[in-house]
Structure 1
Amino acid sequence: MPLKPVRASLLINLHARRGAELIEQAESLLRARGLDLEAVHAVRSPEQAETLMRRDLVRGVERLIVGGGDGTLSHAAGVLAGTGAVMGVLPLGSGNTWARSLGLPLDLEGAAGVVAQGEQTRVDVGVVNGRVFLNSVALGVSAALAGSLDRQTKRRLGLLAWPLRGVGVLRGHRPLYLRVRTAERTFELRTHQLVISNGRYVAGPIKAAPDASAQDARLEVFALGGAELPSFVRATLDWLRGRHPTSALTEYLETREVRVENLSRRPAQVSVDGEVGLQPPLEVRVWPRALWTMVPPGFRADQA
């Protein structure tokens, strides 16, 4: 008996770094691999994307393929988590952090092959103040940096935009005074950077922790250094080397839920999958195995 055709749709964010130039190629590659796309959407805003995806779900679409950067994928996951529909990922952004956590090829042809002919699995998502996220929630330097980068700069420079702009942001950054509460412990600290991670990767190719994965039903929470900038720099270097879980310069813990309060006298910028907007207090939790997604055959979340 022939297999029942998969009801699929494709949504591409035209503002993603490579979205506008690759939409026709993406459609052609998917159709060539046997997917009969019921709809192809070109969008310019998260709100438009969410509306069209909900419409596709009502129509009975089973596999929603999303092309864009991490912000686009994060909003898509907010629509699809808990529905049973399957998300396919085409990495068209600058860092493509979530694609790395899924072990996907970062080229369009390779990713299209996985989306059309790979395996289905369930992965964790995070939830912060009611909003779903995929990669991480961050306070401090990286949030200030995310807020300083416009779409054109990220499109032109890609991952290079972060270190090039980061030097200027770091010079004027002041430490945050935060209270962190989990079921296991409560502590206060002054730091330039706090990260709460769901996936294996946090920013492009930088891992949350050596054994982190998108299927471990936990969040990695870590503060890099103290109030002095040199300690932040040294702790960040430990992080890049994968040493931060045991570093004396880093507060590190694993948990299922965490609350973060800002005790500073000034607002604390928060980035969620690279998008700035929220303010503390933050209630963050992991939602285990909430999202169905396409992954390469033999996918291991802790080895992606």
Structure 2
Amino acid sequence: MTRELALLSNPVAGGGRNDAKVAAVAARLRQAGFAVRELVGVDAAHSSQLARVAVADGVDGLVVCGGDGMVNIAAQVLAGSSTPLGIVPMGTGNDTARALGLPLRDPAAAADVIVRGRTRLIDLARSGDRYFVTVLAAGFDAAVNEKANTMTWPKGQLKYSLAIVAVLKEFKPISYTLELDGETRRVEGMLVSVGNGDSMGGGLRVTHGASLDDGLLDVVLFTSVPRRELIKTYPKLFSGGHTRHPAYERHRVKRVTVAASGVVAYADGERFGELPLTVEVVPGALTVFG
């Protein structure tokens, strides 16, 4: 019996520049012997609906062409199921693909990972009935994400860099209350990030050292520092060099509650919700090709 894959894409993403890449991926999968059900979602809700119908129909895998937002949509559908997720990176950040070691700039090579058929289990982070795969940002990093999402130009990492400059002009330390596996901590900080994966925003390794399959969350706290110190430290997030700063703290937990006034958290690069939020790890909740 021919195996069937659902291939989910968004024609708006990339300004339509990804259409040819998606078509090439579909052709590569068919060449390998798969039946391919092409799904084109006009927005997040529509994409989710299409994916749920395909999975309910019993497809042998759900493949998303896009970035972390598309991966997040798929995670809501596939959490706890045995249907594997394939990722062909075509987004701005691609942090899930980066954590999985997938080819980031070669859709054909990413499709070949799916063709080989090897799968693995990874953890998900859950808050209420919603899941995320990479990092929940709840401070300066979230404010940068919020600002970047309002910018239509430039694209890619430069957009985040300009957003950093804009946010720094007005950013003030936040009063947090954290509950880390039942232990309460109150602190003034610049950011709190909850990592299932180790990066966000296209390779900012805020939760450097976090693993997708260790059954734990990495909660990173950066206590209050002068703005100029934050400016100096922020570029080190790409290498993990910020972990040597005296203001850096890392806690490894199974469950965390993050509370602060007036803070909107982001997860997988998408607006997630206002604090307080309680996040817990769900070990082995997602099957992925890779």
TM-score (norm 1): 0.87
Which residue pairs with 1:43 in the alignment?
41
CA 145–247 in structure 1, closer or farther in 2 if over 3 Å, else same: closer
Aligned match of 2:175? 177
Aligned residue among 268, 275, 279 for 2:274: 279
- Say whether the 8 Å CA contact 2:192–2:221 is kept in structure 1: yes
Q: Which amino acid aligns with 2:281?
A: V
Q: CA deviation at 1:65?
A: 0.6
Alignment of 1:1-304 (within 5 A): 4-17=1-14, 18-37=17-36, 39-106=37-104, 107-150=106-149, 153=152, 157-183=155-181, 185-226=183-224, 228-237=226-235, 239-245=237-243, 247-262=245-260, 264=261, 267-295=262-290
For residues 239 and 151 of structure 2, what CA distance do their matches in structure 1 show?
31
Deviation (angstroms), 1:200: 3.3
Aligned partner of residue 103 in structure 2, secondary structure: coil
Q: CA deviation at 1:45?
A: 1.0
CA distance in 1, matches of 2:67, 2:181: 33
- 1:201-237 deviation per Cα after TM superposition (whole angstroms, max 9, x unaligned): 3332233555322111111111224153234335535
Moved over 6 A (4+): none
CA RMSD of aligned residues (A): 2.1
Q: Which runs of 5+ in 2 are unaligned?
A: none
* Structure 1: distance between partners of 2:93 and 2:233: 22
The CA deviation at 1:183 is 1.9
Q: Secondary structure at the match of 1:73?
A: helix
How far does the alpha carbon of each residue in 1:113-158 deviate from its partner, in whole angstroms, 9 at most, with x for none?
Answer: 112224111111111232110111111222222222348737x521
Distance 1:102 1:153 in 2: 29
Residue type at the aligned position of 1:7:
E
* 1:13 partner letter: N
TM norm structure 2: 0.91
Q: CA–CA distance in 1 between the matches of 2:219 and 2:103?
A: 27
Q: Partner amino acid for 2:80?
A: G
* In structure 2, C-alpha distance between the alignment counterparts of 1:173 and 1:152, rounded to whole Å: 18
CA distance in 2 between partners of 1:211 and 1:250 (Å): 13
Q: Aligned-pair distance for 1:80?
A: 0.3
Residue 182 of structure 1 deviates from its aligned partner by 1.2
- For residues 194 and 233 of structure 1, the distance between their equivalents in structure 2, rounded to whole angstroms, comes to 17
Q: What is the CA–CA distance in structure 1 between the aligned matches of 2:12 and 2:211, rounded to whole Å? A: 29
- Note if contact 2:180-2:256 (Cα within 8 Å) is conserved in structure 1: yes
Residue identity over aligned pairs, in percent, reads 28
| Per-residue deviation, 1:192 | 2.1
Which AA in structure 2 matches 1:286?
V
1:301 is aligned to none
Taking structure 1 as reference, are residues 160 and 246 closer, same or farther at Cα in structure 2, changes over 3 Å only?
closer
Q: Which runs of 5+ in 1 are unaligned?
A: 296-304
Greater Cα offset, 115-124 or 103-112: 115-124
